[in-house]
Amino acid sequence: MREILEDVERWRGQGEAVAVATVIQTWGSAPRQPGAKMAWTAGGSISGSVSGGCVENAVVESGARTLATGRPQRLRFGVSDETAWGVGLACGGTIEVLVEPLATELFDPIREALLGERPAATATVIGGGEELLGRKLFIGQDGTRHGTIGKRWDDAVASRTRSLLSERSAARVEEMEGIEVFIETLLPPPRLIIVGGVHIAVPLVSLAKTLGYRTVIVDPRRAFGNPDRFPHADRIVSDWPDRALEGLEIDRSTAIAVLTHDPKLDDPALSAALRSPAFYVGALGSGRTQERRRQRLLQAGLGEEALARLYGPIGLPLGGRSPEEIALSILAQIVKERNRSHT
């Protein structure tokens, strides 16, 4: 929803009727994952994508009927479907898409959760009776609810949804009490904390921002960590890394890259980072540097299990030497680990 939010908000302000398509299930080599969205208006404006281009036209055509009737539709495209060649999925992918009018009564709670970076979720009925198709329930992490599926289901759906939120789970289909429900978690964007405002950190911030990460620079040396050097960083913390990390509320959507190559800064940072729930912790340095660092951290009381989480030398082995190439290798490893942890 985040990728189409701004356009949908503008269309609503202009009084346009809006349809939304959401990928609810995929098989094989489908190009986009569950939760991917596309929105459009009767006037032909489009935002987002459900397939990278190959089924959009067919979805928009179905959406015209949805805008006219107000009735949601569950669509399936794939090689087993007679329309497969026409929509461009002959490579073996299959996707299911729910097309529905914009749920205007839930738009504001969803918008507020996304902009406020507060975890929330929506549950949408996708099976179990024509009269139930498209019914929605919004659930905030604090238990706030908007909308309804029906008294018979609301409590069970809300309970299951809160558990998925606590697990930071991706979008999924759940069956319960005779209905199919698509539960879509709305999580804050992932965050990259970079310890050390060194040269590599400059392109790393830019690359991470391109992929939607919130970026934080931690460096007590103001010559290295300042807004002039990092104009695109979301936050700069001028404090010692262990104190800074303690105050940054690290969670399972946080990655930490330690880049100073100075034990006075790196060791306290790694000691705090490896005890945190961060999904990724990496540190710059050669194999020899990593072994010396490992011995220091063991002597400081860090356990073997925690040390096993450390990616060092940091980054995928792409063979790059420039700061930009090293930054790319670091971010590639972070993306790989985040995708692995979400499967």
pLDDT tens per residue across all 343 residues of the chain = 888 999 999 999 999 999 999 999 887 766 678 889 999 998 889 999 887 666 778 888 888 889 889 999 999 887 444 444 454 554 556 889 999 999 989 999 999 999 888 889 999 999 988 889 999 999 998 889 999 999 889 999 999 888 888 777 778 898 988 899 999 988 888 999 999 999 999 999 999 999 999 999 999 999 999 999 999 999 999 999 999 999 998 988 899 999 998 999 999 999 999 999 999 999 998 889 889 999 999 988 888 999 999 998 999 999 888 999 999 999 999 999 998 866 5
pLDDT value, residue 85 = 47
Smallest CA-to-CA distance from 67 within 109, 16, 28 is with 16
pLDDT value, residue 143 = 87
Q: Is 291 left (phi over 0), alpha (psi -120 to 50) or beta?
A: alpha
Tokens for 258, please give them: 């330690």
Q: Tell me the C-alpha distance between 3 and 17, whole Å.
A: 19
pLDDT value, residue 83 = 47
Asked if 182 and 22 touch (Cβ cutoff 8 Å), the reply is yes
Give the domain ranges of the chain. 5-101, 104-186, 191-341
pLDDT value, residue 84 = 45
pLDDT value, residue 219 = 96
Interior/surface letters 279-291, b for 16+ CB within 10 angstroms, e for the rest: bbbbbbbeeebbe
Residue 271: which residues within 8 A CB-CB, separation 6 or more? Answer: 242, 297, 300, 302
Smallest CA-to-CA distance from 50 within 116, 97, 89, 2 is with 97
Q: Which residue has 């306290």 as its token pair? A: 268
Residue 292: which residues within 8 A CB-CB, separation 6 or more? Answer: none
pLDDT value, residue 178 = 87
Grouping H, G, I as helix, E, B as strand and the rest as coil, residue 4 is coil
Q: What is the CATH number of domain 191-341?
A: 3.40.50.720
pLDDT value, residue 54 = 63
pLDDT value, residue 30 = 63
- Would the pTM of this model clear 0.85, i.e. be above it? no
- Which residues on adjacent β-strands are paired with residue 95? 26, 77
Q: What angle do CA 179, 184, 189 make, to 5 degrees?
A: 170
Grouping H, G, I as helix, E, B as strand and the rest as coil, residue 240 is coil
pLDDT value, residue 91 = 52
